[in-house]
Chain A
Amino acid sequence: MKRARCTQRRSRLATLAFLAALATPLACAGFEADVHFGLTLWLARQAGFAPGEAEAVALANQRLDAGSVEYMASPLQFACLARFAPGAMDAQARHYPSESRVPADVQSRPVVPGGVPALSQVGAALRRAEGGKAAFMLGEFGRSLHSLQDSWAHRGLPSVPNWSHHGIECDARLAMAAPLDRGAPSSHAANLTWRWPADVEEMARTTYQQMLRYPKVHGSPRQAAPWEQVRQALPAFSGARTKSAKSDWFVANGISDTSFLDGISLPDGPTWKAVRWKGRRDIPTPQPPAAQPGVEADLVGFYTRFLTDWLTTPPLEKRWLPALAATAGRKPDAALVDQLMGWRLRDHGAYLALESQPHSAGRSPSLHRNSAAFEVFQSLNGAVLPIVMEGSKPSPILPFLVFPLPPASDENQRAIALLKLLDAPYDTLGVIAEKRAASSWKITSVISSADY
């Protein structure tokens, strides 16, 4: 009986999220694993690659994206808090290919879909695969396709995120976020396949062409499907607006395991059953937060306690409320509480969809009151994708990073903790705290940056 009620609640939640997604033209979603892994895998199979070869191409392509400690890059770090040019250069090469390299003004860094910078990376990978090396260069080829594919999602001039009202200044010569004409920089709209079907088709066609150029593996010829046949399947892929719809497309096209869609920014949809994707590298156990050098112990302790409470206790109990800064009425800011509840939703796509609606209509009380909509993690480490400091020095792998921020106008100390949630792998979250006179640290706001 209890299980039946729970199922009913899940069903209502899924329906609500699905309707919200359909009603929201600017819903955040993604040119994420659905493209970089799923579509790439499918295209490679159509191009005649053996299943294992196709998977090697797709896996390496996908692993360049957020969610893997190895390749994680957030403009919040490399352009703002750490200002690390090599990190920006990596991010540009992987996601915003342009003739002009960072550091440089964004006006000089247009991303041309299928342009020379993107194609040259593919060309280099293809050359390195010659000479009998094709069998073990599939991954490198897959990584080169990532940049090519993102050149459609990020076509135009990158935008510069603006967190100055939170006291975070960024170096515009290093920063890059989705072009403004493709959606809000903090959203994932630029990568929403259903919004850009023509771009998706062109991206897929170019990807396919490059796949056909790949040298024979072990001398074996490949039998590729005609492009026209491949093309005909694409509109349904592009048009899918939920994980359920995407999953249905993949299953119908011969890819039965669609768990790679877990974590993408599309809402779940009516039939999606959330499972963790096994294709991700095993997540390393991070070192204790105190291993971050140069950060005050009491600040790290505060963030550890807050984040542990927030992520490892039932969200509806809100045990973390005392850690939030109180407003004049001595209650935490309702919007901040809603934000913190929203980021905890297992279906992050639904939260993003609701967030993009007008404020009054955007939040769903039922969504935030449904315990089945949240995962309660066993530990802080279990709830996050560990991250590293971007900089010239090696960094321990940590569950979150702490950076000092300039003091508030009343000279109160301020800081920000960056973390990536397992359920929102395409975003970096910044939890800002302030230490007021004669008081302890308190959470004052939450910001996020859409990663790649």
Chain B
Amino acid sequence: MHSYKALAIAASLSTLTLAGCGGGSSGTAAIPPDVSVADYVVPRVPSCAPDDRPETALQGQVPAALRESGFGGFNCNLKLVSQLQGEGASWSSATYTDRKGQTCFYHATMGESPALNNPAAPPRMNPGVPVINITNPAQPVRVSSLTSTAMLDPWESLRVNLARGLLAADNGVGGVGGPEIDLYDITSDCTAPQLLASVPVGTGTDGGIVPATKPLGHEGGFSPDGFTYYVGGFYSQTYYAVDLTVPTRPKLISAISMADLGLGSLPHGLSVSQDGTRAYFVSAGNVGTAAGSTQPPLDNPNATGDNGFFVIDTSEVQNRRPNAQMHRIATVPVRNGSAAQHTIPFSVAGKPYLVEVDEGGSGGIQDPSATGVKAACNAGMTPFPLAHIYDMSSEATPRLISELRLETHAVENCGKVIPDILGLSTFTYGSHYCSVDNRENATALACSYFNSGVRVFDIRNPAKPKEIAYYNPASVQAPGAGSAHLMFGQHRAGGPDWCASRLDFDFDRRLLTTACQDNGLLVLAFGNGTWPFPESTKAVEIGN
């Protein structure tokens, strides 16, 4: 184990050497073949359709002037098919097609939380997770809303599992969460999910283990077979494995704390390998001691910080060994970012990769005066969060091969983008979630960038991702109280939305579905020839 750690740190340091090289990129489509990871700016979309509304400034940028006059939206090779604003969305969403061929979309909304109460917000009429029938993508219909405990505010934990037709969430209310997990059967009729369980786990009533720290929901995700749901307990500082063999009786069967994992930072999102024997947990770090982790390591190129991800052996959980334990195989620090959000393992041409996405920049979570952004810029590091792609040929020593850096992220553009975001806090030009089109044969990666909208990349060469499409929705005048953007007090009249949800590729219909927080559900269609690629194939399971 010690040797694994040493190898991992060595690999990370070599990465950091690259990351510290500084910029020189022009931020345009012409990328020299030998450009370093830290200098690589994803090439812009080569061309848009005639009736698209291409970006007018930097890639990903909504300039201050546009925010002032009222942002009307940008798009290129992604067209809006339909939208259902509803009462707004928060952090996670999922799409599922049932046995009858009906397609449904579910997204989280903000629950009632004293800490996140915006007096200016309109009252909630339909709290919980809306069930939206998008069988006809042009006419989405909200059928009902799920209001069981965890569904009132799933935060970042809302997921579906295709193998078993389950919809799940943990109780992430206000981000602080509770111990409940909710499960619904959506196999037969996704428009009418049927509650299987809404129960606390890990508290001694579920028949499973009682961990040292009671679970508190926030993030979560399935193993691909649908028999395990992992909870990322941000505030309980522990990852949990919940057995779903009997979906009416979920029970906690294993837990591992961040202290066990060797870092004092916070758990967050996760993913699980195809065979269920590996989990990729993140360490949400580099956000400062006030938030429970180290200060961003901007001033010390040798410091790794505590942001990154872990490669975890979950064989004992997957195989349901008695007293199953999870074991760390590798720790992979990600210095060029903070507040790690989640991971996705995927394969390209049979070779394993993993994308890790942050929700904080190298200077930590943004404050209204952009102190952290400026500090990152001054240190020559990426000011906004982005996705990092690793070659996982050796799981003990993952190797960084690329980053999804837009022009807004390039250090040389700091002076151009900081005026746009002054007075705003937390996320602005950063990423949050990404999804691949097919984990077993990935060709495209779609990511939600808060202020920069939905962006899709060609990752057939994962070392040199290329942008192929984007859709940044127009500003919403009257967002609903389900929007975290509004409830965080970050909505500004005329300003861009927060796009923060997972995204789902629909291979058969050439669609991309997601939710932005003020705009709600967005069903987007790829322009002709944009996606799928000739190499693309239909996924048999959800993207992450």
Q: Which residues of B contact A135 (CB under 8 A)?
A: 143-144, 192
Q: Does B195 contact A (CB under 8 A)?
A: yes
A138, B164: Cα distance in complex, Å? 19
Residue of B nearest to A138 (CB): B194
Q: Which residues of B contact A392 (CB under 8 A)?
A: 207
- Report which of B99, B192, B319, B321 forms a contact with A56, defined as CB distance below 8 A: B192
State whether A393 touches B323 (Cβ < 8 A): yes
State whether B246 touches A70 (Cβ < 8 A): yes
A388, B143: Cα distance in complex, Å? 37
State whether A137 touches B187 (Cβ < 8 A): no
Known: A56-B194, A69-B245. A136 touches B322 (CB 8 A): no
What is the interface of chain B mostly: helix, strand, loop, or mixed? loop
Q: Does A239 contact B (CB under 8 A)?
A: no
A218, B192: Cα distance in complex, Å? 11
Known: A55-B188, A70-B247. A139 touches B207 (CB 8 A): no
CB within 8 Å of A: which B159-177 residues:
163-165
How many whole Å from A95's CB to the nearest CB in chain B?
A: 15
Q: Does B153 contact A (CB under 8 A)?
A: no
- Report which of A60, A70, A132, A293 forms a contact with B245, defined as CB distance below 8 A: A70
How many whole Å from B191's CB to the nearest CB in chain A?
A: 8
Known: A52-B189, A395-B320. A284 touches B147 (CB 8 A): no
State whether A293 touches B246 (Cβ < 8 A): no
How many whole Å from B78's CB to the nearest CB in chain A?
A: 33
State whether B195 touches A59 (Cβ < 8 A): no
Chain A contact patch, size range:
35 or more
Q: Does A19 contact B (CB under 8 A)?
A: no
How many whole Å from A345's CB to the nearest CB in chain B?
A: 30
State whether B196 touches A139 (Cβ < 8 A): yes
Residue of B nearest to A142 (CB): B194
Q: Which residues of A contact B246 (CB under 8 A)?
A: 70-71
Q: Which residues of A contact B245 (CB under 8 A)?
A: 69-70, 388, 394-395, 397
How many whole Å from B250's CB to the nearest CB in chain A?
A: 11
Known: A136-B193, A136-B195. A281 touches B319 (CB 8 A): no
State whether A70 touches B207 (Cβ < 8 A): no
Q: Which residues of B contact A139 (CB under 8 A)?
A: 185, 194-196
State whether B144 touches A396 (Cβ < 8 A): no
Known: A133-B147, A135-B144, A291-B319. A86 touches B207 (CB 8 A): yes
Q: Does A140 contact B (CB under 8 A)?
A: yes
Q: Which residues of A contact B163 (CB under 8 A)?
A: 282, 284
State whether B192 touches A136 (Cβ < 8 A): yes
- Report which of A71, A282, A287 forms a contact with B164, defined as CB distance below 8 A: A282
Q: Which residues of A contact B321 (CB under 8 A)?
A: 293
State whether A281 touches B164 (Cβ < 8 A): yes
State whether A140 touches B227 (Cβ < 8 A): no
Q: Which residues of A contact B195 (CB under 8 A)?
A: 133, 136-137, 139-140
A58, B191: Cα distance in complex, Å? 17
How many whole Å from A198's CB to the nearest CB in chain B?
A: 32
Q: Does A34 contact B (CB under 8 A)?
A: no
A135, B143: Cα distance in complex, Å? 10
Q: Which residues of B contact A70 (CB under 8 A)?
A: 245-248
A406, B194: Cα distance in complex, Å? 45
A133, B245: Cα distance in complex, Å? 25
A233, B397: Cα distance in complex, Å? 69
Q: Which residues of A contact B194 (CB under 8 A)?
A: 56, 60, 136-140
State whether A396 touches B319 (Cβ < 8 A): yes
Top 10 closest pairs, chain A to chain B, by CB = A139-B194, A394-B320, A396-B320, A393-B322, A394-B253, A135-B144, A70-B246, A394-B243, A136-B195, A52-B189
Ordered by A's residue number, 6 sampled pairs between the chains whose C-beta atoms are within 8 Å are A52-B191, A133-B148, A282-B164, A284-B164, A284-B225, A388-B245
Residues of A that sit less than 8 Å from B by CB: 52-53, 55-56, 59-60, 69-71, 86, 132-133, 135-140, 143, 218, 278-279, 281-282, 284, 287, 291, 293, 388, 392-397
List 11 extra interface pairs beyond A71-B246, A136-B148, A140-B195, CB under 8 A: A56-B189, A70-B245, A135-B192, A136-B195, A139-B195, A140-B194, A218-B144, A281-B164, A293-B322, A394-B208, A397-B320
